[in-house]
Chain A
Amino acid sequence: MATPLVSIENVDMRYGGPEGTLAVSGLDLKINRGEFVAVVGPSGCGKSTLMKLTTGLHIPQSGTVIVANSQVTKPVSIVGMAFQNPTMLPWRTTLENILLPLEIVERHRHRLRAHKADYIAKAEALLETVGLKGFGEKFPWQLSGGMQQRANLCRALIHEPELLMLDEPFGALDAFTREELWCVIRDLHASQDVTIALVTHDLRESVFLADKVVVMSARPGRIISEHVVPFERPRQLDLLYEPAFNEMVQKLHGEIATARAAA
Chain B
Amino acid sequence: MTTTQIAPPVATAPKPAFKLNWVQLSPVLYTIGLFVIWEIGVRLSGLPHTIFPTPTRVFEAIVQYWSPIWKNSLQTLYTTVLGFIIAIVAGLGIGLFIGWSKTIYAGLYPIMVGFNAIPKVALVPILVIWFGIGTVPAVLTAFLISFFPIVVNVATGLATIEPETEDVLRALGAKKLDIMLKVGIPRSMPYFFGSLKVAITLAFVGSVVSETVASNSGLGNMMASAQSNFNVPLVFAGLLMLAIEGIVMYALMAWVEKRMTGWAHRSTMSN
Contact = CB atoms under 8 A, between A and B. Distances in A.
A239 interface: no
A87 B264 contact: no
B182 interface: yes
A145 interface: yes
A81 B172 CA distance: 9
Contacts of B182: 89, 100, 103-104
B270 A79 contact: no
A82 B171 CA distance: 11
B263 A91 contact: yes
A60 to B, nearest CB: 16
Contact of B168 (A81, A90, A91, A145): A81
A77 B270 contact: no
A82 B167 CA distance: 10
A90 B174 contact: no
Interface in B242-267: 261, 263-264, 266
A139 interface: yes
Contacts of B263: 90-91, 139, 141
Given A89-B183, A89-B186, A91-B263, A104 B173 contact: yes
Contact of A85 (B162, B186, B187, B270): B162
Nearest to B186: A91
B168 A83 contact: yes
A257 interface: no
Contacts of A74: 173
A91 to B, nearest CB: 5
Interface residues of B, number: 24
B241 interface: no
Interface stretch (A2-10, A50-58, A129-137, A215-223): A50-58
A104 B270 contact: no
Contacts of B172: 75, 77, 79, 101, 104-105, 159
A100 B189 CA distance: 19
Contacts of B189: 91
Interface residues of A, number: 33
Contact of B164 (A87, A100, A105, A139): A87
A76 interface: yes
A143 interface: yes
B152 to A, nearest CB: 21
Contact of B173 (A75, A87, A90, A145): A75
B128 to A, nearest CB: 44
Given A104-B178, A104-B182, A90 B171 contact: no
A164 to B, nearest CB: 11
A87 B269 CA distance: 17
Interface string A70-112: 0000111101011101010111000000001101111000000
Interface string B153-192: 0000000001011011111111000100011001101000
Q: Is the interface of B mostly helix, strand, loop or mixed?
A: helix
Nearest to B167: A57
A75 B232 CA distance: 70
Contact of A141 (B174, B178, B261, B271): B271
Nearest to A79: B171
A218 to B, nearest CB: 24
Given A55-B171, A83-B168, A104-B172, A90 B183 contact: no
Interface string B177-220: 01000110011010000000000000000000000000000000
Interface of B: 162, 164-165, 167-174, 178, 182-183, 186-187, 189, 261, 263-264, 266, 269-271
Interface of A: 52, 55-57, 74-77, 79, 81-83, 85, 87, 89-91, 100-101, 103-106, 139, 141-145, 148, 155-156, 159
29 contacts: A57-B170, A57-B171, A75-B173, A76-B171, A77-B172, A79-B171, A79-B172, A81-B167, A81-B171, A82-B168, A83-B167, A89-B165, A90-B263, A90-B264, A91-B186, A91-B189, A91-B261, A101-B168, A101-B169, A103-B178, A103-B182, A104-B182, A141-B263, A141-B271, A142-B269, A142-B270, A143-B270, A148-B270, A155-B168
The 6 closest A-B pairs by CB, nearest first: A77-B173, A55-B171, A87-B165, A104-B172, A83-B164, A91-B263
Given A55-B171, A85-B164, A89-B165, 20 more contacts: A57-B171, A75-B173, A89-B183, A89-B186, A89-B187, A91-B186, A91-B187, A91-B189, A101-B168, A103-B178, A104-B169, A104-B172, A104-B178, A105-B172, A105-B173, A106-B173, A141-B270, A142-B270, A144-B270, A156-B168
